[in-house]
Amino acid sequence: MTGKTYQVIVRGRFAPLDAGQRAALLARADEHDVFAARFTEEGTVTYERSLLGFTFRCVVRATADDAEDVVTGRAEALAAAAVRGLGAGHGDLTSVATDLDSIKVRQRGR
């Protein structure tokens, strides 16, 4: 059975934060800025100091038969777990996935 690999971006909003959650997220904000963003199987969470929302980037492996909603569902579950790992809740998750097989890289002539 052949497989596919997808890069998925999940965007969401933080659930209402109490003072302790807000302080903990702000203390680690520099570790989660856009420069830390990586597409990995574990995924990475990035957010701005405003703490309004977050972005989660990950790589999801799937079978050729898996529909895109299965792939984004897996990514959203990973995102929810990652945000919980930061000590916060989440809401309003939206996802977009790119099948890596469909990306065509055109080399520039030298």
Q: What pLDDT, in 10s, does the model give residues 14-62?
A: 999 999 999 999 999 999 999 989 999 999 999 999 999 999 999 999 9
Within a domain: 100: no
* Contact yes or no for 91/12 (Cβ under 8 A): yes
| pTM over cut 0.95 | no
Question: Residue 3: which of 64, 60, 58 has the closest Cα?
Answer: 64
Within a domain: 9: yes
* Contact yes or no for 11/54 (Cβ under 8 A): yes
* Mean pLDDT computed over 67-92: 94
Torsion angle, alpha carbons of 64, 105, 43, 23, to 10: -150
Domains held by the chain: number? 1
What residues make up the domain containing 29? 3-86
Longest dimension (CA), the chain: 55
Within a domain: 103: no
Q: Quick one: pLDDT band at residue 1, thresholds 50, 70, 90?
A: very low
Q: Per-residue pLDDT for 66 more than 90? A: no
